[in-house]
Amino acid sequence: MSETIFSKIIRGEIPCHRVYEDDSVLAFLDIGPLSTGHTLVIPKEPAVTLDALSDESAAALGRVLPRLCRAVLKSTGATAYNILQNNGSEAHQVVMHVHFHIIPRFEGRGLDIGWKPGELDHDEAERLAGQMRQLLDQDP
């Protein structure tokens, strides 16, 4: 994996407004916030996308995410928020190091989502879900 701005932040070569740190995880304020308190949570492991992350780093992230969300809510007074996690440039990922956005929602500020639901084809859905179950059985 190539060097990213987040690798430099992890190593302390670029400053950040640090919110949380342990052996596996770092959280800091986003430099271009969508709303007050917009926080990034990253593993120290240098994986590009979530599917490439180790179980250990994933567990470390999962363990602290709810606690970080509580701190973001309490410090900003927000009562709603989005978790955003982009993977791949087609999915709007700009920094190629896994990261979760915690984005507080305020009146008129936060994440705006274009959500255009389709209609589920149940035959296709059953085929796809079966294929996924099979792949999961083979993925330790």
- Which residues are catalytic, by number? 99
Contact flag: residue 94 with ligand 5GP (CB under 6 A): yes
Q: How would DSSP label each residue in 51-62?
A: GGS-HHHHHHHH
- Which amino acid, residue 84? L
Is 109 among the residues that bind ligand 5GP (CB under 6 A)? no
Position closest to ligand 5GP via CB: 32
Which residues within the stretch 37-66 sit at the binding site for ligand 5GP (CB under 6 A)?
Answer: 40
CB-side neighbour CA atoms (13 Å) of 43: 23
Report the greatest alpha carbon distance in the chain.
53
- Taking 3-state DSSP, the helix, strand and coil percentages for the chain, each rounded to the nearest 5, stand at 35, 20, 45
Nearer to ligand 5GP, 2 or 138 (CB): 2
- Interface residue with ligand 5GP among 1, 31, 125, 129 (CB under 6 A) is 31
Where does this chain bind ligand 5GP (CB under 6 A)? 5, 14, 16, 28-32, 40, 86, 92-95
